[in-house]
Amino acid sequence: MADAESANRRAAAFYVYREDIRYTEQLPGGGFRRDTRAAYEVTILEGEPYHRKIEQDGQPLSAMAAAEEQKRYREVERFRRETPTARRRQRYFEAEENRFKIDSRIVLEFHEASLAGEETYDGRPCWVVDTAPRRGAPRPKRRSQWSLSQKLRFWIDKDTGFPIRVVATQLFDFDSARRGTVTEVRSTQMDGVWLLRRIGSEGKRKVDGQTVVYRTVQEYSNYRRFTATTHLLFDQGQ
């Protein structure tokens, strides 16, 4: 599984796409304390992904916000062109260490696994595998070690060995993730490459003395292969 993910990650890095993010906090009575949406066009800028905001709360950016976004783009472009590659790579991998992610290498090293059965998911035959941190596994110290605080269920595609669906349940509070939070990751295949389709998280937390249900949904669409010749900053083989 880890090898399949690694090979797929390199292929998927050459795709640009649209990302839609919605975050809500729902009150016990059903109303919403917060409901925000944003959309981004994700491209490759000087060898790194760049998220350009294109919508806020379902509407195109105002002229002022669009101008600010263009200014930010130019500043990032200039920084990436002027900063030595070694320093940029260091910054990139430091940011990766601070990003929530389910790391299959950590799962293989510190989780116990059991075969839960076989299912067809999204038309694909899969093995269903459950994992949880084994006794004595270390506690996570940074966000990249998130899977040390979760039990996981994987739907592993029999043909490619890639986990096309993952459901993670938070076993204890870690960083901003509260105990009991459930996160689901779904992927879709395009031109033989597995690409993110949806990430959804739902949990509960106390806010101003009330228990609110918080949800984050990230949806990915409009995938296109980046056709210009480029060297990816994060490819350590370069």
Q: Tell me the per-residue pLDDT of 72-128, one tens digit each, with 9 for 90 and over.
A: 999 999 999 999 988 988 887 777 777 778 888 999 999 999 999 999 999 999 999
**pLDDT for position 99:** 74
- Kindly state the percentage of the chain with pLDDT values over 90: 73
pLDDT at 54: 97
The residue among 177 and 227 whose pLDDT is bigger is 177
- How far is residue 189's CA from residue 12's CA, in Å, rounded to a whole number? 10
pTM of the predicted structure, to 2 decimals: 0.89
**Cα–Cα distance measured from residue 30 to residue 34, given in angstroms and rounded to the nearest whole number:** 12
| Sheet strands side by side (includes 59-60) | 59-60, 48-56, 32-45, 15-26, 210-225, 193-207, 182-190, 163-170, 150-157, 124-133, 111-121
Domain boundaries, given as residue ranges, for the chain: 2-225
pLDDT at residue 227, rounded to an integer: 74
